[in-house]
Amino acid sequence: MTKTGKLPKRFPKGVELLQDPRLNKGTAFTQDERDELKLHGLLPPRVNTLQEQVDRVLENFRHKPTPLEKYIFMIGLQDRNETLFYRTVIDNIHEMMPIIYTPTVGEACAKFGHIFRRARGLYITANDRGRIAKILRNWPTRDVAIIVVTDGERILGLGDLGADGMGIPVGKLSLYTACAGVDPSLALPITIDVGTNNEALLKDPLYIGLKQERLRGKPYDQLMAEFIRAARKTFTGTLIQFEDFATGNAFGLLKKYRDKICTFNDDIQGTAAVTLAALLGATRITGQDLKQQRLLFLGAGEAGTGIADLVASAMVREGADPDEARDRMWFFDSKGLVVKSRKDLASHKKPYARKGDFLTDLLAAVRESRPTALIGVSGKAQSFTERVVREMATINARPIVFALSNPTSQAECTAEQAYAWTDGRGIYASGSPFDPVITQGKRHVPTQSNNAYIFPGLGLGVILSGARHVTDEMFYTAARKVANMTTESMLAQGSTLPPLDKIRDVSATIATAVAEYAWDEGLATKNRPADIMGYVRANMYGAQYDTYV
């Protein structure tokens, strides 16, 4: 953004300026700016403040009849006036996050081809082998600090949405800016369109992607390898975040590239960190150490095993034996309990396979494992039945029930159900937001265990330090920082994470800790400042208009 002073020769004026969302101020252009920038007559005569513009946005936003209409309205605002969009979101994060991200972004992706207005980011297809670098150079700037990329195969709990999954990287990058102050000009959303196996999309005349079956095997790997090489060459030092890839590709890409480039997978590592943070908060309520927890996961994909890996390593950091820590993790997948006698286990499940009988009933698995925490990452709505949750309440004085699947419609149980079935003793968290619940005269505020507590701040710390790699230690550090920011009054109402309106403070704290770790461990490529927190705060985008004349 151009700051006060002499404008560059190519600075847009008139209609061109009003059509540039990064520079446009709409009715907030001053009279002097209107004179200098040839805007007189192109705007109503009244000059508005940014706050007056926010008030107008909110009035229109709140009149929209459905969450999807609100989403479309806000994306339209982002396309017209980026500063106003982010100012509105930052000042109203609790109201806006469910619209610009989960759960509404799920519905938006499911209908993406039907609500499509304007292209954002870059699309790379299976037909672009050999020219990916050329496509990346079509992006108007080389100053890209963060790329969020998806191939659309596992969008939230909705499955294969192909190119319609672009709403996810767009939404994630909006949260990088709103929650952590990453300058939006440094962000690039990318969709790798390798086709879709979703028959409804293949038959939909308004689908925006390739109408072909998904690319698999070696051709897929070669396409992704070319993309990584081209991205590293075109955008030097960029952090690449993998998002919503199917389990096999998610683990494969992370394993292949995590030690070669600056990258992470939010579904594996970000979900793990925020769940660990929520679990640490829950242990403060129960009075038990993390090492004492026994976790039963419903779902054994990338989210579940990622959580288990990080929690087990956290237990070891706190003094547990590694084998004992791993033995405290139980998994129940689509077929039943993950045990050694099964011959159908994917490689990422095998480390958690246990000795014992193969059980196909979740209630029986709860009785067998006697978990302190039941964690849902299955994408199967209402799979935590009343009998299962009541059994958790029989085993534990304060049962931990985390129904983490997104969007809201896919949650394993609702907050109201969890509190009712545990007589108000349950400690509940979910992936998408639920309203407070009054049970037996007590008000419970359920925790939204949203990855936005982790990845924006972590990413900011990586960017500002110029870290060469993203490590598991960074995610553990981030989880601990978030957990430590949960106050006693929050815990008293059942919340295991800070409120969303504190998210920028949370992100600044995480960014400071991650950057400090990068400098301490020799991973950073930028000069270390004397005051890291001050450096972080000074580099957080604030969504305020610049003065052009």
Catalytic residues: 101, 172
Residue 46 buriedness (CB in 10 A; 0-12 / 13-18 / 19+): exposed
For residues 46 and 10, give the distance between their C-alpha atoms in angstroms, rounded to a whole number.
27
Between the two ends of the chain, the Cα-to-Cα distance in Å is 13
In single-letter form, the type of residue at position 468 comes to R
Q: How far is CA 499 from CA 166, 436, 450, 464, 504, in A?
A: 28, 13, 11, 25, 11
Question: Omega into 103 within 30° of 0, i.e. cis?
Answer: yes
CB-based contact 295:329 (threshold 8 Å): yes
β-pair partners for 339: 354
User: 3-state class of 155 per DSSP?
Assistant: strand
Is residue 423 within 8 Å of residue 393, measured between CB atoms?
yes
* Radius of gyration of the chain measured on its C-alpha atoms: 24
Decide: 467 and 523 in contact? Cβ < 8 Å.
yes
CA torsion sign for 431, 493, 282, 451 is positive
Sheet holding 373-376, edge to edge: 329-332, 295-298, 373-376, 400-403, 427-430, 447-448
Q: Distance (Å, rounded) from C-alpha 51 to C-alpha 300?
A: 47
At 172 the three-state DSSP class reads: helix
Asked if 362 and 278 touch (Cβ cutoff 8 Å), the reply is no
Contact between 278 and 485 (Cβ < 8 Å): no
Q: What is the DSSP letter of 19?
A: T
